[in-house]
Amino acid sequence: MLKIVRARDYQDMSRKAANIISAQIILKPDCVLGLATGTTPIGTYKQLIEWYEKGDLDFAKVSTYNLDEYRGLSHDDPQSYHYFMRENLFNHVNIDLANTHVPDGSNPDAEAACSEYDKIVAAAGYPDLQLLGIGNNGHIGFNEPDDHFSKGTHCVDLTESTIKANSRLFEHEEDVPRQAYTMGTQTIMYARMILVVANGEAKAQAVHDMCFGPVTPSCPASILQLHPNVVVVADEAALSLCE
């Protein structure tokens, strides 16, 4: 059973999610965190930064592994997830950048890039806590709806709905990369705890299907029903179909 934590709004969701992550860091200072990008986790990262600045959190021994990265973008591209993580978390806390990891989207050899990432995630023992957002179509990471659940890190063709959703972060929709490297659902399921954050009415159907729908690769997030330790923190709008 997925544990659902109700939040009043985005700010409350962000604070509750940050509480769970901070507890993990405090209980295990050298923990392995799986991190996510997108607009949903930004508030959570801001809260973690605030607590770090107050002296309540120490990231010195933490290591991180991000879910995904656009294919074809350099690490310094403002739209890359390498850049996103530095701007929204890493540059503001005392984490060792050598202990932060994001798939290498700048490597045109998809097989090599994905295989290498699988090796380093496995060598770390997989995340103690994996943070996830959820797409409007039920994707986690960039694992799009399909006829099967993915396994290891792989290259995906982004769906039109995902491209459209992500275009708000680009100057033009045609600037959105059409492919990405992403952890597979099997890799995500190896995490010892999974924390899903969701807000807004646009996520309501996906959240419902994740929690209460059939387990099917047409809604990749539904596989989380099979994980023994999942917490979903979502606001009232995102939970509006889960009454």
pLDDT for 64-76, tens place per residue? Answer: 999 999 999 899 9
Q: Are 170 and 107 in contact (CB under 8 A)?
A: no
Query: For the residues 123-134, what does the mean pLDDT come to?
Result: 98
End-to-end CA distance of the chain: 16
Catalytic one of 66, 88, 137, 143? 137
Active site residue 137: yes
Catalytic one of 69, 118, 144, 209? 144
Catalytic one of 68, 118, 128, 235? 68
Active site residue 87: no
Q: List Cα–Cα distances, 74 to 6, 78, 241, in angstroms.
A: 38, 9, 40
Q: For residue 235, name the pLDDT band (cuts at 50, 70, 90).
A: very high
Q: Tell me if residue 209 falls in helix, strand or coil.
A: helix
Cα separation, 224 vs 194, in Å, equals: 8
- The predicted pLDDT at position 195 comes to 98
Position 198 pLDDT exceeds 80: yes
Entry pTM: 0.95
Q: Are 72 and 155 in contact (CB under 8 A)?
A: no
Handedness of CA 73, 75, 61, 47 (dihedral sign): negative
Catalytic one of 82, 101, 139, 154? 139
Active site residue 68: yes
Position 43 pLDDT exceeds 90: yes
Position 197 pLDDT exceeds 90: yes
Position 98 pLDDT exceeds 80: yes
- The predicted pLDDT at position 53 comes to 98
- The predicted pLDDT at position 174 comes to 83
pLDDT greater at residue 172 or residue 198: 198
- The predicted pLDDT at position 95 comes to 98
Position 52 pLDDT exceeds 90: yes
pLDDT tens digits, one per residue of 148-189: 999 999 999 988 888 888 787 787 888 788 899 999 999 999
Q: For residue 139, name the pLDDT band (cuts at 50, 70, 90).
A: very high
H helix count then E strand count, the chain: 7, 10
Position 243 pLDDT exceeds 80: no
- The predicted pLDDT at position 166 comes to 79
